[in-house]
Amino acid sequence: MFTGLVEEVGKVVQVRTGKGNRFLEIEAAIAKGLEIGDSVALNGCCLTVTVKDKRSFTVEAVGATLKQTNLAKLRSGSRVNLERALALGDRFGGHLVQGHVDEVGTVRRVERVSGSWKISIRTQRQSGRFLVDKGSVCVEGVSLTVASMRPGEFSVSIIPHTWENTNLEDRRAGDRVNIEYDLIVKAVQRHLDTKADL
């Protein structure tokens, strides 16, 4: 479980492919505190540490993960949002994030709006039922608030601190971004769907 509060922006230093999987070596300060088998959210996708040293760690993304996320696009030099799994008793600052990407959306616009930034993202039309105005959504592993929504699109507002301390400042129109919808909203919607089927 994660919170969507990015601890560090790491850098991909090597990408290897084997048997349909991708091995991503990430250079980051948090590598010092990781152990083999730990879970790390990389751009919002929960992956397992398979190799580590003091300066970097490696995770393996299987074929199913590569199809469900934008991780196949990562190259050496790519900047990635990182968050270690939440420990029992930690302070909880973002929202409940599982690290299971629901959808890969497409950035439509990035705008500067009175001291902040607004990113509009195109999604599948049916995904709107998992969004609540002023509710939470996780984009590239960052816990954000839904600023506006319409069929097939939503936007988020990003304060300067988040902009400067995540890889969202690298995003441009046309980029593909990992999206995880709010767990509570998904659970409620599943309940409503089940009741409707009775």
One pLDDT digit (tens) per residue for the chain, 198 residues: 999 999 999 999 999 999 889 999 999 999 999 999 999 999 999 999 999 999 999 999 999 999 999 999 999 999 999 999 988 777 777 888 999 999 999 999 999 998 999 999 999 999 999 999 999 999 999 999 999 999 999 999 999 999 999 999 999 999 999 999 999 999 998 878 776 665
Q: Which CATH architecture has domain 103-197?
A: Beta Barrel (2.40)
Distance CA 77, CA 52 (A): 18
| Contact assessment for residue 174 and residue 109, using Cβ atoms and an 8 Å cutoff | no
Binning the chain into helix, strand and coil, the percentages to the nearest 5 are: 20, 45, 35
The pTM of the full predicted model, rounded to 2 decimals, is 0.93
CATH code of the region 8-84: 2.40.30.20
Domain extents in the chain: 8-84, 103-197
